Each structure stands twice: as C-alpha cells, then as structure tokens.
Amino acid sequence: ALITLRQLLDHAAEHGYGVPAFNINNMEQGLAIMEAAEGCDAPVILQASRGARKYAGDIMLRHMVQALAEMFPGNHIVMHQDHGNNDATCLSAIRHGFTSVMMDGSLEEDMKTPASYEYNVEITRRVTTAAHAVGASVEGELGVLGSLETGEAAAEDGSGAEGKLSHDQLLTDPDQAVDFVLATRCDALAIACGTSHGAYKFTRKPDGDILSMETIRRINEKLPDTHLVMHGSSSVPQELQDLINANGGRMPQTYGVPVEEIERGIRMGVRKVNIDTDCRMAMTGQYRRIAQEKPEEFDPRKFNAPAMEELRKLCRDRFERFGTAGQA
C-alpha cells in the first residue's frame, strides 16, 4: 500500500534502519525494484524526477505506481517527487498520487543558481503548508551538494558549478538546519555532507575526510524528529564500470560512495538514501553485454530481462545492507 514519507521514516527512525529511494522512469525499473522489495520484505521509496515525469507522463506514472501497489500488496511504498523546483511541480505531483514531495529550494527554479536562505525557507514553508493540508510529506534541502574533494558544487544537470567552494560551504550548518526546520516544518531534510550527483563523484576511494559523518551526527542530534536524507548515494561499483567498458562503453575511472560509508551514515541518523546512477549502470551493463554478445538479437525483452535481473540484485543488496529488509 502507498504510505507517506513521514509514516515510513518515522518507522525507520524508531527501528534504526535506512530506506533506499530509487528513481524510476519506466515499467522495467518499477517491476525490478518491487520484485527485489518483495523478495526481502522491504518497504521502498520510489521517486520520479521532473525529467522522469516528462519522459513517462504523469498519467502513466500514476497508473504504474497504482499497478505496482496492487501487484505487491505486502510492501509499503512511498511515491515521491525528486528535486521539485517550485510549488507547481510539487502540487501537481500530489494531484497525481505522489504521497511525498521534495521542494529543493537550495537552488533557484532553474535548478542551477544557488538560492538565498530566505528564498529557500519561504518556498519550502509554502509547499509544506499546502502538502500537509492534503496529507502529503515534504523533504527540504539545505546546503550545497558537491564534492569536498574538488570543491565543485554539483549542478542538477551533473555539470560542475563555476568556482571552488570551501569545505564549510559544502556542508550543511547544524544550527541553520534547526532554524530551517522550525521555520518550514518539513518532514525530511536533505543535507550536504560531501556527496554529489552522478557517476563522477570522487577521483579516489573517499574516506572520512571527504564524507562528513560528523555533519550528519550533529544535525541528527539537534533534529531527532526530522529525517535526514543523503543524496548522491550511488556507489558506482567497479564491476559495473568494468562491464560497461568491456562491452564498448567509455566511462572514465571514477569512485562513488562506498556502501560501508552509507551504512555508517545510517548509524549516524540518515534515513533516506537516494540512488539513481547505480540503477542506470546496472541496466546499461546488461544492455551493452547483450548487444555485444548477441549482435543478431533484436527483441527488446531479451535486453530488458537481464537488465531487470541485474537491477533486482543491486536493489536487494541495498535493502539488506541498509537494514530495510524484513521491515516491509
């Protein structure tokens, strides 16, 4: 059944586990994620970006999620808007059956220009008031997602922003987080702790200096009732890079967030863990492998079935390691 983000993350906080939020754009991703969730009795957050809504269409997404809820009656599902950029995006998502929205006011509506703190508070407060009135949850974001290694802010389109930011600018300030939550009443808060979106996060395996677990710990201590969200949580597994590159791909060597660092984050209080890039890579590795190994093949199902199997394995691993398995 569909539930709100608040309902699911209250349970996760009480029982000390994390929930992966997987991005979906099509039926194959939806089925694979839900089969993994069913296989290990896990609740799940499905999230659609603005790009996903444009790709699949709101009516298709709404019916797809309803179909998934009907096909997998034993699993709690949250349907969430990823990175909403204004009131209209968030409210139309709710109208289309989303039970939760992210109002990302850390950036202006163009999702490129860093926004003022005042703008962020005002728009997040407005969206939260409207969402709560109809029983939906809200995730806000405070801080600049970006790599502490390079000092580059991460624009939502994956390109680095101009100029270098300091270590402090790339981490959410705990006192400001308290002020933000009091002013906006959001249910969950995306924080900056050194991760960035996309495949190219780090040029070496990140350690404690690059990812700030201390930031997570301090914010969680001050905001026990607000659920912390870690964006940019793909691990960019080496074996997926290798498979893609062994079959004609050209991904430069890169490093993501090791799963053990996410597990540490969950112990420090992270409850929602956003993963998109790993899911894309799991499927693309199989598309490339089939294309290479069976050049005579042209039935899309012969490409999609192994891609779904690989995505299923990836999701199941995250459910198990985040402690979501068994909490359906």
Cβ distance to Zn ion smaller for residue 69 or 230 = 230
Under the binding rule (CB under 6 A), the answer on residue 56 touching ligand G3H is no
Instruction: Indicate which single residue of 139, 173, 276, 310 sits in contact with ligand G3H (rule: CB under 6 A).
Output: 276
Q: Is 277 marked as binding a ligand?
A: yes
Instruction: Indicate which single residue of 5, 17, 42, 49 sits in contact with ligand G3H (rule: CB under 6 A).
Output: 49
Q: How does 17-46 read in b/e, with b if 16+ C-beta sit within 10 Å?
A: bbbbbbbbbeebbbbbbbbbbbebebbbbb
Under the binding rule (CB under 6 A), the answer on residue 23 touching ligand G3H is yes
Give 116's DSSP letter. P
Torsion of CA 260, 264, 265, 267, to 10 degrees: 140
Q: Is 233 marked as binding a ligand?
A: yes
Instruction: Tell me the H-state helices in the chain.
Output: 5-15, 27-39, 50-56, 58-71, 87-95, 117-133, 174-184, 213-222, 238-246, 259-268, 277-293, 300-322
- 3-state SS class at 255: strand
Residues of this chain that bind ligand 13P (CB under 6 A): 82-83, 197-198, 231-234, 274-278
CA angle 55, 61, 62 (to 5 degrees): 150
Stretch that binds Na ion, among 43-51, 143-151, 217-225, 242-250 (CB under 5 A): 143-151
CA-derived radius of gyration, the chain: 19
Instruction: Indicate which single residue of 6, 76, 80, 231 sits in contact with Zn ion (rule: CB under 5 A).
Output: 231
Under the binding rule (CB under 5 A), the answer on residue 106 touching Na ion is yes
**Which residues does residue 21 pair with via DSSP β-bridges, in sequence order?**
45, 274
Cβ distance to ligand G3H smaller for residue 49 or 81 = 49
Under the binding rule (CB under 6 A), the answer on residue 80 touching ligand G3H is no
Under the binding rule (CB under 6 A), the answer on residue 53 touching ligand G3H is no
Closest separation in Å from C-beta 76 to Na ion: 28
Label the pairing between strands 137-142 and 188-191: parallel
Closest separation in Å from C-beta 106 to Na ion: 3
Q: Is 212 marked as binding a ligand?
A: no
Footprint of Na ion on this chain (CB under 5 A)? 106, 141, 145
